[in-house]
Structure 1
Amino acid sequence: MPPRYERVADALRAQIMAGTLPPGATVPSADVLAHEHDVGRDTALKGIAVLRREGLLFLAPDKSIRVGPAAARPTRHPLSGPDEVRAVPPGGVVSARMPTRRERERFDLAEGVPVLVVRTGDGEEVHPADRFGLRWT
């Protein structure tokens, strides 16, 4: 079972990816998150810190924590091309997001490296953005 702070981070990440917390939205306070997830305030703050490191959250000038776009980050292979390139199927939709803890482990991703999500009528595929390229045909 993941640490409690990771569960807080995963829940917030899911809300961000689903659009429940859109870009610019204020994240609930640590006290509110602690109550919602039945954890201590410090644990909630640690979950927020995970998403700040990933670039999903930022500290706004008014000192609130807000949802923001992921910042551009260096890739694992900055001077080389992708390991694999695939064609996006007709009607496919591609998006990028920060990986979940499990995806980071599965793909052995460095902190801050996003994943590419390809959605088609058959479902979705998740690929590491530092090793995978997509081509529109």
Structure 2
Amino acid sequence: MPPRYERVADALRALIMAGTLPPGATVPSAAALAREHDVGRDTALKGIAVLRREGLLFLAPDKSIRVGPVTARPARRPLSTPDEVLPVPPGGVVSARMPTRRERERFNLADGVPVLVVHTADGEELHPGDRFAVRWH
């Protein structure tokens, strides 16, 4: 079972990905999250910190924690030739997002490297963004 702070982060991440917490929305306070998830305030803050590192949350000028907009970030290292080019079938959709802790471990990704999510009629595939490129037909 994941640590409690990861469960808080996973719950918030799910709300963000579902659009329940859209870009610019204020995240509930650490105290409110602690009550909701039956954890301590420090544990809730640690969950928020995970999502801040992933780029999903940011500290606003008014000191509130808000859902971040999707923005382009400079590459941390020079772009290289991808290991593999993924063909995207007709009707397929590709998006990019920051990986979860488990996905970062699974793909051995450095902080700041996104995953590519390929949605097809057959389901969803994840690929490390630093090693794959996509090609539409």
TM-score by length of 2: 0.92
* Aligned match of 2:59: 59
Distance 1:73 1:121, change over 3 A: same
Gaps of 5+ in 2: none
Q: Does 1:5 align with 2:2?
A: no
Gaps of 5+ in 1: none
**2: distance between equivalents of 1:70 and 1:130?**
18
8 A contact 1:97–1:115 mirrored in 2 = yes
Aligned residues: percent identity?
83
What's the offset of the Cα at 1:115? 0.6
* Aligned match of 2:42: 42
Structure 1 segments (4+ residues) deviating >2 Å: none
2:136 alignment partner AA: W
8 A contact 1:82–1:131 mirrored in 2 = yes
Structure 1 segment 70-85 matched on structure 2, within 5 A: 72-75=73-76, 78-85=78-85
**2: distance between equivalents of 1:69 and 1:113?**
17
Distance 1:9 1:90, change over 3 A: same
* Aligned match of 2:22: 22
What's the offset of the Cα at 1:26? 0.7
8 A contact 1:73–1:112 mirrored in 2 = no
1:87 alignment partner AA: P
8 A contact 1:87–1:135 mirrored in 2 = yes
Count how many residue pairs are aligned between Structure 1 and Structure 2: 136
1:100 alignment partner AA: T
* Aligned match of 2:124: 124
**2: distance between equivalents of 1:65 and 1:26?**
6
Two-structure CA RMSD over aligned residues (Å): 1.4
* Aligned match of 1:107: 107
What's the offset of the Cα at 1:69? 2.9
1:27 alignment partner AA: V
SS in structure 1 opposite 2:118? strand
Q: Does 1:93 align with 2:85?
A: no
TM-score by length of 1: 0.92
SS in structure 1 opposite 2:82? coil
SS in structure 2 opposite 1:49? helix
